């Protein structure tokens, strides 16, 4: 049993180890191992295309994470007071947003936005005041990327924060109200500190999702290139150690964010449980 | 009264997002699927079932997906169950959280990079090379259905382990002892107590993996090398290469329909079987 578990963990982590190992390989090929070197990282940082893709990915991931955690938390707070048919409708939409395959979201967003833009652009051009030069053209790019990533991640934040709200001690809120705190005061001093770890975890997961997403970006990025899209097209052109270096950096980024997110979610569960135990 | 308005304001951005980025695009796909292809690609308004009638043109993609998605789900289940059992029943509680986090974390890291590693492992210089050294020659792994299946198990294992772990962990361990005390051999305890009680977890895991596999693109693209392609690969081709939006929309709409029907049937089946529904978060 234990041996089996070890084998599965090896299965999960050996491929990751291989990427990391080869990224430090001085030779050109996997079979050509010539000792350790950071030269592929050097090549990477002097590659303007890779660096531009990295900047795009970081920007999109950051904005996505901010929007998703802000709007997701707002919706989660509001939804606890929504009941009946409206609640069922929201639950269904959130469920669909999480479960629908990324490829369908990518395609649907692509054709919907391109069609809307095609309809709006002539209108925009005709309404644009003369003196301001040429009218801006709506097109796929940062905006569509962020909007599409925010859909899934916002639904995710709603689910995470809502779970935390459900696990919150209602008595504290009532106590706060009994002690004449304003609703805003109660929110700021009682609710927010309790749900904050969940919001932060949601932020980190949203960032990771957006940073790692390939399939949605493949469709909606327009003329922009995100890091996963860059990696995919590099793989298509042939496997190089440079991809291993990107892979190692990407894995290191998301691994550290995830470990933090996991411990935020778990440590909080643990503490909440101990607190409750202490009160009882 | 004031609270109601605050509530509406709080829900506003999320509602707008869901409408513009989810409902509108899905409606557009359905509308486009009844249209026609423009001369230079794109879409021309029409009302025709021609796109749906033409679906058999992509028969291989549907066939591959409908064979390999269930096969991949089953393979992931077989690999995941013993691990979930170990984590829930046998593992030292001191290490349990760490071990569990170690299973979940890979799922949230780039599937692209992780799948890419398997190009090395399954490619000519990887496992086939090792087999060659011990005398087994001419094994080809990359660009075969087997490679795609390995990639699937690797990619989706965490998603399968977690729900099964949750249902096994909730299981009352005294039931296992009782079964043993009443003289049941371990295999019988497993078949008659453990397995039935973990069915909700199995169901959730299988459903999650199956749904995601139906829309898979990366694993067949990287490990199937154009020989083993899924509906997802056909969709990329239709939208990004041949720009046949009307036909692509019909394929996408059909994919979503197949998914909805399977999931609904599956949920019914499970609800009837266990009399309860299980909601397990991916976290």
Q: Which of B222, B235, B230 is nearest to A110 (CA)?
A: B235
Output the pLDDT for position B217.
95
A72 and A149 inside one domain = yes
DSSP SS3 for B121? helix
Residue B221: how many CB atoms within 10 A of its CB?
24
Q: Is B116 helix (H, G, I), strand (E, B) or coil?
A: helix
- Assess A38–B contact: CB distance below 8 Å, yes or no: no
Cross-chain residue pair A205–B108, CB shorter than 8 Å: yes
Task: Point out the least confidently predicted range of A10-19, A139-148, A268-277, B249-258.
Answer: A268-277
Q: Are residues A2 and A98 in the same domain?
A: no
What angle (nearest 5°) sits at the alpha carbon of residue B63, between those of residues B263 and B106?
60
| Predicted pLDDT at A31 | 60
Residue A42 maps to a domain:
no
Q: Using 50, 70 and 90 to split pLDDT, how confident is the model at B172?
A: confident
A13 and A87 share one domain? no
Number of domains in chain A: 2
Q: Which residues contact A261 (CB under 8 A, 6 or more apart)?
A: A200, A201, A204, A205, A208
| pTM confidence score | 0.88
Tell me which residue range forms the domain holding A29. Answer: 1-37
Distance from CA of A161 to the nearest CA of B (A): 12
Cα distance between residue A88 and residue A152, in whole Å: 18
**Least Cα separation, residue B141 to chain A (angstroms):** 16
The answer to whether residues A160 and A264 belong to one domain is yes
Q: Scanning every residue of chain B, which has its alpha carbon at the shortest distance from the alpha carbon of A144?
A: B21
Nearest by Cα to A39 from A24, A18, A53, A60: A24
pLDDT over 90 percentage in chain B: 51
Chain A residues whose CB is inside 8 A of the B151 CB are none
Task: Name the residue among B14, B83, B111 with its Cβ closest to that of A8.
Answer: B83
Task: Note whether A254 contacts B108, CB cutoff 8 Å.
Answer: yes
Residue in A107, A147, A262 nearest the CB of B235 = A107
Same domain, A27 and A137: no
SS (H, E, C) B31-53: HHCCCECCCCCECECCCCCHHHH
ipTM of the complex, rounded to two decimals: 0.87
Determine the average pLDDT of the residues in B111-123. Answer: 90
Q: Are A108 and A240 members of one domain?
A: yes
pLDDT 10s digits, A134-143:
778 888 999 9
- pLDDT for the residue A271: 58
How far apart CA B222 and CA B229 sit, in angstroms, is 10
Q: What is the per-residue pLDDT for B1? A: 56
Would you call B154 exposed, middle or buried from its count of C-beta atoms within 10 A (0-12, 13-18, 19+)?
Answer: buried
Q: Are residues A206 and A91 in the same domain?
A: yes
Q: Which tens digits make up the pLDDT trace of A149-161? A: 999 999 999 999 9
Alpha carbons A66 and B79: distance in angstroms, whole number: 37
Q: Tell me the domain boundaries of chain B.
A: 58-274
Q: What's the CATH number for B58-274?
A: 1.10.3720.10
pLDDT tens, B237-266? 999 988 899 999 999 999 999 988 888 888
Q: Residue A44: how many CB atoms within 10 A of its CB?
A: 21
Q: What is the mean pLDDT of residues B177-193?
A: 88
The winner for highest mean pLDDT among A235-244, A268-277, B19-28, B196-205 is B19-28
Question: In angstroms, how far is the first alpha carbon of chain A from the final one?
Answer: 39
Contact flag A104-B215 (C-beta cutoff 8 Å): yes
Closest Cα in chain B, distance from residue A50 (Å): 15
Instruction: Determine, yes or no, domain membership for A43.
Output: no
pLDDT digits (tens, 9 = 90+) for A196-215: 989 999 999 999 999 999 99
pLDDT band, residue A240 (cuts 50/70/90): confident
Query: Is there a contact between B117 and A8 if contact means CB atoms under 8 Å apart?
Result: no
């Amino acid at each position: 049993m234990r041996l089996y578990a070890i084998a599965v963990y090896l299965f999960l982590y050996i491929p990751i180890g291989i990427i990391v190992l080869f990224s430090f390989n001085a030779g050109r090929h996997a079979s050509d191992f010539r000792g350790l070197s950071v030269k592929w990282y050097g090549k990477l940082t002097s590659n303007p295309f890779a660096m531009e893709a990295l900047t795009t990915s970081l920007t999109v991931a950051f904005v996505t994470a901010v929007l998703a955690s802000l709007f997701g938390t707002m919706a989660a707070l509001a939804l606890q007071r929504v009941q009946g048919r409206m609640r069922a409708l929201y639950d269904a939409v959130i469920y669909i947003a999480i479960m629908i395959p990324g490829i369908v979201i990518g395609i649907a967003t692509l054709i919907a936005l391109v069609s809307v833009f095609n309809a709006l652009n002539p209108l925009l051009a005709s309404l644009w005041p003369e003196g301001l030069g040429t009218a801006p053209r709506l097109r796929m790019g940062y905006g569509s990327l962020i909007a599409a990533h925010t859909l899934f991640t916002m639904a995710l934040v709603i689910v995470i924060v809502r779970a935390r709200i459900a696990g919150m001690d209602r008595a504290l809120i009532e106590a706060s109200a009994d002690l004449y705190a304003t609703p805003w005061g109660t929110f700021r001093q009682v609710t927010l500190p309790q749900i904050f770890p969940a919001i932060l975890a949601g932020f980190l997961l949203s960032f990771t999702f957006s940073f790692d997403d390939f399939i949605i970006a493949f469709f909606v990025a327009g003329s922009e290139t995100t890091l996963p899209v860059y990696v995919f097209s590099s793989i298509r052109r042939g496997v190089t150690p440079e991809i291993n270096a990107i892979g190692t950096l990407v894995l290191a980024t998301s691994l550290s964010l995830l470990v933090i997110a996991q411990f935020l979610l778990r440590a909080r569960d643990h503490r909440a449980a101990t607190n409750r135990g202490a009160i009882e | 009264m004031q609270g109601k308005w605050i509530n509406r304001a709080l829900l506003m951005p999320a509602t707008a997002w869901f409408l513009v980025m989810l409902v509108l695009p899905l409606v557009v796909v359905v509308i486009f699927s009844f249209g026609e292809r423009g001369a230079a690609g794109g879409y021309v308004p029409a009302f025709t079932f021609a796109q749906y009638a033409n679906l058999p043109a992509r028969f291989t993609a549907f066939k591959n997906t409908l064979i390999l998605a269930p096969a991949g789900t089953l393979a992931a289940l077989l690999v995941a169950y013993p691990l979930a059992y170990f984590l829930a029943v046998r593992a030292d509680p001191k290490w349990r959280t760490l071990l569990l986090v170690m299973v979940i974390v890979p799922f949230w890291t780039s599937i692209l990079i992780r799948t890419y590693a398997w190009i090395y492992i399954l490619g000519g210089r990887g496992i086939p090379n090792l087999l060659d050294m011990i005398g087994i020659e001419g094994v080809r792994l990359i660009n075969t259905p087997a490679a795609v299946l390995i990639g699937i198990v690797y990619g989706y294992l965490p998603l399968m382990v977690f729900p099964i772990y949750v249902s096994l962990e909730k299981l009352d361990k005294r039931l296992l002892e009782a079964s043993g005390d009443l003289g049941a051999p371990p295999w019988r305890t497993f078949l008659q107590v453990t397995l039935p009680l973990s069915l909700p977890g199995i169901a959730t895991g299988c459903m999650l993996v199956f749904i995601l596999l139906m829309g898979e693109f990366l694993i067949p693209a990287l490990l199937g090398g154009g020989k083993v392609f899924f509906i997802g690969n056909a969709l990329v081709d239709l939208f990004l290469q041949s720009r046949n939006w009307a036909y692509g929309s019909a394929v996408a709409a059909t994919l979503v329909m197949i998914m909805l029907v399977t999931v609904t049937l599956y949920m019914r089946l499970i609800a009837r079987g266990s009399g309860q529904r299980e909601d397990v978060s991916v976290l």
